[in-house]
Amino acid sequence: MKKLKVLITFVLAAVMLSCSDDEGSSVNDIENVGAPANISALFTITQDNSGLVTISPNAEGATRFDVYYGDGTTEPTEVLAGASTTHIYAEGEYNVRIVAYSLNGKSAEITQALTVTFRQPENLDITASVVAGNSFSVDVTATADYETYFEVWFGEDGETPIQFNEGQTVNHVYSAIGTYTITVVAYSGGVATAQATEEITIIDPLLLPITFESATLPYTFIDFGNASTSVVDNPDPSGINTSAKVGKSIKNTGAETWAGTVLTLDGTIDFSTFTTFRVKVYSPAAGVTVKLKIENLADAAQAYEVDAVTTVANQWEELTYDFSGVNMEWEYSKVILFFNFGQVGAGDTYYFDDIALIPSVDTLSLPITFESETVEYIINGFGGAVGAKVANPDNAGINTSANAGQLIKNAGAETWAGVAIPLVAPVDFASMQKVKMKVWSPAANTPVLLKFEKEGDNSVFVEQTVNTSVANGWEELTFDYTGLIDNAVDYKVAVIFFDFGNVGAGTTHYFDDIKLSN
């Protein structure tokens, strides 16, 4: 024993000496190592009435252990990390003391109870529970009288049983959904054992957010009114939605005006924190009403619904729904989507994805500064352009703000490629009919078209084009709509085109501070 301690001390000294040339950094690292943590030991016993117990200590950050057997044996036994020691006990209850040491000699210890009997274990009780937040992970604990240790099988093919002691928790992560039989055997020092089983059903619960990416969820749609819904490959993995799988809903020819689909969740919707829904939608046309409704599992009268309207065609965009008026006393487990609500089906196909609750957002209206942390800036690209809120790339000159809007007109993008920004409140042109916008473009004389469309009808609009005058710097452009505005129209979509009329060349443009002006 003394030789082993001397050897470890010598190795430690040699390591510290060899590291001293490296500016002392490695020596300091060793000296700063903390004491071992999460100390435990596994006790197992042979089933031959011999009382031979194997003790396997374990701890985080330990290089060796001192094991005090607790039966009057004076000297501890030293055990290196990963090794075990054996000891013969008479029948009885023992407190085994485990002292763990780190590389620099710091120590920590625990005392763990050991039962040694030759009697068959009795009153075996096992507890199996699914871990919160991971429906495939299961924890198992067990208790019994007259036992020394347990073995558990989780019911999957080819598994090796796990040994553990009373008071310890063992975990298993299942590879697939299904019903499994968990078997626990209790051992003492005699031949006789005790066994108990418990069935557990592993499901992959359908909860918010719904992403359609799980390989184990069935995503069961209940269609009505002659709609047909399924999970398919993303038809256009670009822009704001590059995920692999999405929902697909076909409003078949002649389908009812109220045709739609239901997804039933495996739990109730929690509105205690967020009350705004977001759904990514890909529609064949702008101006399409997409209704989102939630219902109680058993009572359809306990429901709430909100409409949103698409602003782009054949492009992913985010629709948001304000559910702040929902009755918090009711429980909702059904999510229902209606595409092109109010119109008879014409065989059109719609895609949807990422149904989620998000933080409540402030209304997006003019002026647009991109500085709010509570506004959700929806910037929908189309025609091969991509939009986003980004950090200001050149916060100098007339624009020192932190953030700005970005438009990338990808190589080969359409001449009319741009971004659409849906507004919650219509632009109030009653007293001011000019709009100022700060822009940053890589070239002077770049045509910038700013267009305002009627909500739900992009055939009603006003637009003006102004050319940039500087390259690689911020400037403010003024778009004059005097005499063009119809004050009876709600202009609720701002559309921005850079280098309008030219095919995309992979250029990046920025815009900021869109505001009404005299």
Which contacts qualify for 320-325: CB closer than 8 Å, 24 or more apart? 320/276, 320/277, 320/278, 320/358, 320/361, 320/376, 320/378, 321/276, 321/277, 321/278, 321/279, 321/292, 322/275, 322/276, 322/360, 323/271, 323/275, 323/276, 323/277, 323/294, 324/275, 324/276, 324/360
Tell the residue number behind the tokens 């196909």, with chain if given.
349
CATH class of the structural domain 221-358: mainly beta
∠ CA 369-374-379, nearest 5°, is: 55
Give per-residue pLDDT as tens, 268-284: 999 988 899 999 999 99
Architecture of domain 33-112: Sandwich (2.60)
Going by C-beta distance under 8 Å and a sequence separation of 6 or more, which residues neighbour residue 18? none
Q: Alpha-carbon distance 70 to 99, whole Å?
A: 13
Q: Alpha-carbon distance 204 to 219, whole Å?
A: 10
What fold characterizes domain 122-202? Immunoglobulin-like (2.60.40)
> Is-above-0.75 flag for pTM?
no
Q: Alpha-carbon distance 29 to 312, whole Å?
A: 58
- Examine the pLDDT at 3 and tell me if it is beyond 50: no
The mean pLDDT of the chain is 92
**Contact predicate 240/316, CB 8 Å:** yes
Q: Which two tokens stand for residue 409?
A: 């007109």
Residue 266's pLDDT is 87
Tell the residue number behind the tokens 């109730």, with chain if given.
268
Residue 31's pLDDT is 77
Residue 239's pLDDT is 79
Give per-residue pLDDT as tens, 370-415: 998 778 788 999 999 999 999 999 999 999 999 999 999 999 999 9
- Examine the pLDDT at 208 and tell me if it is beyond 80: yes
Give per-residue pLDDT as tens, 255-272: 999 999 999 998 899 998
SS3 call for 386: strand
What fold characterizes domain 380-517? Jelly Rolls (2.60.120)
